[in-house]
Chains A and B, each alone.
Chain A
């Protein structure tokens, strides 16, 4: 706020100064200053255009009027308020500044309203999609519980266990989805979309993650490839872990036939590149185009009605990576299967090496 004021002040006085200099220059060439008023009107207009609010424009028009009066109208270097056109000049300049400022402010507000509306739309899309996704597992949990409560005795022990493990599986899925949604709230206000980054060693993130992943999917064929060298990447570790977890889960659940899942990390000049690839069935071409914006774009949501679609997870991943100023991409591999990768900028590293 304070910085903005300073900037506006600098702009105002720079414009006025430049105009004054120009007028003095032209006056020394031409011998008169008839154009001074027009030039100052232009200066006032520009000030109103490039500063915030009304204050600077009005200030600029007042100073402009006084300067024109003082410097560029006869008698020079003296104030003379009895000139015949003086009030008109004054009023014109004020009017220019006020009208310009108000037009620009209005414009800016319109832009804000549009953004606001877009956000609202995104939110309601997300809400609708999420409620849809959560309803299915909740219904099956509630159903399984009713069966167990009402006619548990008639069921055999294995049948009961089947129902119970279904309940647990559905509940675990719900927990993971809710974690995803909670992560989104952690990204802060959508407008700023900022995360708090601290430098974390990649190997620690990967080690912790692969431990958790193996606990959840003990039979999954996960291979991990990390760089030999010690690599610190600025990130919100919890969120990045969540992204990788989502990607690994997708690889297990959606690739169907995958016999190999590889999590690898490498570095380029400016980025750390994380990727998860599998040798499963890959992704439909059509789906691939919109894979990350399923829930956050205005488009009609889930492609399939399947409750375990990738929508929420991937949209959240994308939002998290964007908030880290990284890029996320998905592609089908020639040899079959697909690869999801994202980059995280290393830039803050320098700061720590000093």
Chain B
């Protein structure tokens, strides 16, 4: 690839930084590294990378501040890396505008897949402006945005208004995690409050309608404590 994607990796642990650098270089990315928040902010604004991989636990500042600061002037995709016991941080990071998160420890295959997804989302038309037009296909599932209908193996799956809205929303951001909060506000408006039971119940109904095995879903995945993610359109 003559025109490499650039990635800035922000991570304070040397050994992990080394590994990440190697992984990205060997996969054909241009990599810059930063070990603390200040350095990171400086490098991000001077290099304008295609993607930022950000560890939330930095020595000099809260990683969330970096997201806020970057989001104030750019929509560069940000993937957050965090330890497992901190779902709250993940949710906050996503709500502040991070695109995705990875939980330590993660495999390199997973890391690269998430990076590709984030880059694809960024290079394609901007998610936020993407209209509900045409169709979305994943596996045996087809969403017809014009007719507002969902088909599985060609058969119409009868969804309620809200169920359709949820599926359509997830499909628009397929491959990305949507937090409970974000989804609640998109579907039920800003005054819905924080009890997400209604969303969970709707989700259970959707699962029974579109998944062959609700306990082993193929289309909509749960990210425990964070939200939902829809499988991506292939090709």
Q: Which residues of A contact B (CB under 8 A)?
A: 175, 179, 182-183, 186, 199-201, 203-208, 210-211, 224, 226, 230, 232, 237-238, 241, 352
With A175-B105, A200-B224, A204-B222 given, can you name 13 additional A-B contacts, CB distance below 8 Å?
A186-B85, A201-B200, A203-B204, A203-B214, A204-B200, A208-B221, A208-B222, A210-B216, A224-B216, A226-B215, A230-B201, A238-B84, A241-B224
Q: Which residues of B contact A186 (CB under 8 A)?
A: 85
The residue from B87, B207, B224 contacting A203, defined by CB atoms under 8 A apart: B207
Residues of B in contact, count (CB < 8 Å): 21
When C-beta atoms are compared, the residue in chain B nearest to A210 turns out to be: B216
B200 surroundings in chain A (CB, below 8 A): 199-201, 204, 232
| Set B87, B201, B205, B217: member contacting A207, Cβ < 8 A | B217
The contact sample of 5 A-B pairs, CB cut-off 8 A, is A203-B204, A205-B222, A207-B214, A238-B85, A352-B197
Is B195's beta carbon under 8 Å from chain A? Answer: yes
What is the distance, in angstroms, from A339's C-beta to the closest C-beta of chain B? 19
Chain A, interface SS category: helix
B221 and A352: CB pair below 8 A? Answer: no
C-alpha gap A201/B205 in the complex (Å)? 12
The smallest beta-carbon distance between A311 and chain B, in angstroms, is 21
The reply to whether the CB of B28 lies closer than 8 angstroms to some CB of chain A is no
A223 to B177, CA, bound (A): 27
Interface residues of B (CB under 8 A from A): 84-85, 87, 105, 195, 197, 200-201, 203-205, 207, 214-217, 221-225
How long is the Cα–Cα vector from A179 to B204 in the complex, in angstroms?
Answer: 29
**Smallest beta-carbon distance B188→chain A, Å:** 17
Contact between A179 and B84, CB atoms less than 8 A apart: yes
Q: Which residues of A contact B222 (CB under 8 A)?
A: 204-205, 207-208
Are the CB atoms of A206 and B85 closer together than 8 Å?
Answer: no
Which of B85, B216, B224, B225 has the most A CB atoms < 10 Å from its CB? B224
Shortest Cβ distance from residue A226 to the other chain B in the assembled complex, whole angstroms: 5
Q: Which residue of A lies closest to B217 (CB)?
A: A207
Residues of chain B lying within 8 A (CB to CB) of residue A224: 215-216
Residues of chain A within 8 A of B216, CB atoms compared: 207, 210-211, 224
Task: Please indicate the chain B residues that have their CB under 8 angstroms from the CB of A237 in the complex.
Answer: 224-225
Which residue of A179, A199, A226, A238 is within 8 Å of B224 (Cβ)? A238
Task: Report how far A15 CA is from B13 CA in the complex, Å.
Answer: 64
